[in-house]
Amino acid sequence: MLWANPMVTYNKRKRFSSVALWLCGGLLLFGSTPAYAMHIAEGILPFPWAALWFAVAVPFVALGIKRLNMLAKDDLSFKPLVGLMAAVVFIISCMPIPVPTAGTCSHPCGTGIAAILVGPFVSVLISGVALLIQALFLAHGGLSTWGADVVSMGVVGSFTGWFVFRGLRTLGASLGVAGFFAGLLADWATYATTSVELASGIRGSEPFLPLFWKILLAFIPTQLPLGLLEGAMTAGMVVLLYRKRPDLLVKMRVITEKEMTAHV
Amino acid sequence: MHHFTRQPQNDDHRLTRLDARVKLLSALALLVMVISCRGVAFPLLVAGVCGGICLSLGVRPRVLALRFAEPLFIAGMVLLLKLFFTGTVPLFSFTIAGWEVVGHRDGLMEGVRIASRIAGAVTVVAAIGFATPFTDLMGALAWLRVPKGFIEVALFAWRYLFVLLDDAQVVYAAQKNRLGYAGYRRGLRSFGTLAGALVIKAFDNSQNITTAMVQRGYDGTMPLLRHKPFRCGEVMVALLVVVGMGFIWSL
């Protein structure tokens, strides 16, 4: 039966996606914001703002390094693990996710899952490293906007994800639900912070608030669904780890040994 | 995504052989000048010079276009945002579906200024990225007293980035061949599985790496690059370039 052939269904979907992509391309062109990508591009922020965000980011990165050195004293594998997690965050934040409402692809930040696994301070360090490599070799973000990107994606994203996950787990939520809301709110918090940074950086002599609302509203067509997708992705990852390798979650103190025994 | 793996592009180029510390300091000085510039000409001059350097390093125009696509798109969007949503002096207007859209002269000027700043800053960083191997850049950052913990994590990430990337591509191809990305719901589930599989691989690899490194004497710290002394000629040329650019910037 022809209609049951999955390849035919797939091709129809692909054609539909192409039409939707073209239709929404115009919407994206006129409805998107300057920070179409996750990171604020090199050179957008003037020097005083770039320096200010750098000064805000540095203490958090320093605390992340301190925490890393402390943990690495007990477990020699922790530094290589954090390096590899930085590589994972780099790869995740380079992977396109289709955003249906905008007819385009955007990418998740991955700091929610990093914060859940290694804690918020080390997650800030991980995002700092991933952002540095992306700035140098992919022109995603930049050296001058590194501080602002670390604050939005690393500090705000990681702490939001971590607090939401821990808070919901304390209230008795399942791993999947807690992971979903951690990913969702980490993503949205990142974009809200990015809007603040952009509005303050490019406003010139204009008032701050109107431009901030314009940028925030313009993010909604892409970031509202992307946040949901990132939430689902984070939940999927946590659940996959729980099913396949609960020992890793115990090692990272995400679940207790009792919970692992219950799973087995 | 592998377009950033071939670094540097041209080992024989004079800029590639230059001390990474000199290159990094010069690039940072240029970057500060570009983002603190209030005009349009200086950032565009820097963009032209650094773009030329990238081409002379043997970077293919296609790779350069790929690298600049996103920031230039953002620059264009900033220009449109500032033109239509900010400013007070009308420059032109047109009507779309009964809505009057007004472009402002001062908004346009501000937009062009930011767009030129983006172009200048992006080309500076691209030039140093193409001309310097990552390990040398990390060595230069260590010399600038960036904490060792940060450098070590960055070196681990860089070393194993390509291993994980290859793994991710294998898993992605396998999922795609089994229609794992046909439809948003399946695509999302596949993506979650892929990301989870990467995290598991990262954990397992980190254990294997540590075992291998401990057998080779790893005690929790990694020896970083030892720098050769600065060469006087290189420093003088870099100083001249930075001072010259600083003079143009001050105009």
- A128-150 pLDDT per residue, tens: 999 998 888 887 888 999 999 99
Nearest chain A CA: its distance from B228 CA (Å): 24
Q: Between the ranges A53-57, A110-114, A195-199, B189-193, where is the mean pLDDT highest?
A: A53-57
Residues of B with Cβ-Cβ distance to A138 under 8 angstroms: 1, 4, 67
Beta strands in chain B (DSSP E): 90-96, 99-104
Q: Is residue A245 part of a domain?
A: yes
Contact A33 B158 (CB under 8 A): no
Question: pLDDT tens for residues B19-72?
Answer: 889 999 999 999 999 999 888 999 999 999 999 999 988 888 888 888 888 788
Kindly report the CATH number assigned to the domain that includes residue A88. 1.10.1760.20
Q: Please state, in angstroms and rounded to a whole number, the distance separating the CA atoms of residues A124 and B90.
A: 44
User: Per the domain annotation, does A206 fall within a domain?
Assistant: yes
Which tokens belong to B145? 């007293």
How large is the average pLDDT for residues A154-176? 93
Whether residue B185 contacts residue A71, with contact meaning beta carbons closer than 8 Å, is answered with no
Give the range of the structural domain holding residue A104, as residue numbers without chain letter.
32-263
User: How far B175 CA lies from chain A's nearest CA (Å)?
Assistant: 14
For residue A137, tell me if it sits in a domain.
yes
Omega within 30 of 0 (cis) for the link into A210: no
Q: Token digits for A198?
A: 């952009």
Two structure tokens written together for A188: 């949205």
pLDDT band at B81 (very low <50, low <70, confident <90, very high): confident
How far is it, in rounded angstroms, from Cα A155 to Cα A111?
A: 9
Residue A100 falls inside a structural domain: yes
**Cβ neighbours of A56 (radius 10 Å):** 14
Kindly determine whether residue A84 and residue B160, on different chains, have CB atoms separated by under 8 Å: yes
Distance set, CA B89 to CA A132, A138, B83, B102 (Å): 40, 38, 10, 10
B146 dihedral zone (left: phi>0; alpha: psi -120 to 50; beta): beta
Q: Does A51 touch chain B (CB under 8 A)?
A: no
Question: Alpha-carbon distance A264 to A245, whole Å?
Answer: 11
pTM (predicted TM-score): 0.84
| A contacts of B8 (beta carbons < 8 Å) | none
Q: How many domains does chain A have?
A: 1
Q: Residue length, chain A?
A: 264
- Assign 3-state DSSP to chain A and report helix, strand, coil percentages, each to 5: 75, 0, 20
- Reported as a pLDDT band with limits 50, 70 and 90, residue B3 is very low
List alpha helices for A75-119, DSSP H: 78-92, 111-118
Q: Rounded to an integer, what distance in angstroms lies between the CA atom of residue A232 and that of residue A177?
A: 9
* Cβ atoms of A254 and A117 closer than 8 Å: yes
Q: Is A23 contained in some domain? A: no
Longest dimension (CA), chain B: 74
Using CA atoms, how far residue B124 sits from A70, B19, B52, B66, B242, in Å, is: 37, 17, 11, 16, 13
Cβ-based burial of A252 (10 A; exposed 0-12, middle 13-18, buried ≥19):
middle
User: Model ipTM?
Assistant: 0.86
Q: Residues 239-258, chain A: which have Cβ within 8 Å of B?
A: 240-241, 244-245, 248
**Of B35, B73, B191, which is closest to A46 when you measure between CB atoms?**
B35
Q: Is residue A13 part of a domain?
A: no
In a domain, A17, yes or no: no
User: Which residues lie below 8 Å from residue B37, measured CB to CB, with a gap of 6+?
Assistant: B43, B117, B120, B249
Is residue A25 a part of any domain in this protein?
no
Work out the burial of residue A173: count CB atoms within 10 Å of its CB; fewer than 13 is exposed, 13-18 middle, 19 or more buried: middle
Task: Give residue-wise pLDDT tens across range B151-198.
Answer: 989 988 988 888 888 888 888 889 888 887 888 778 877 888 888 888
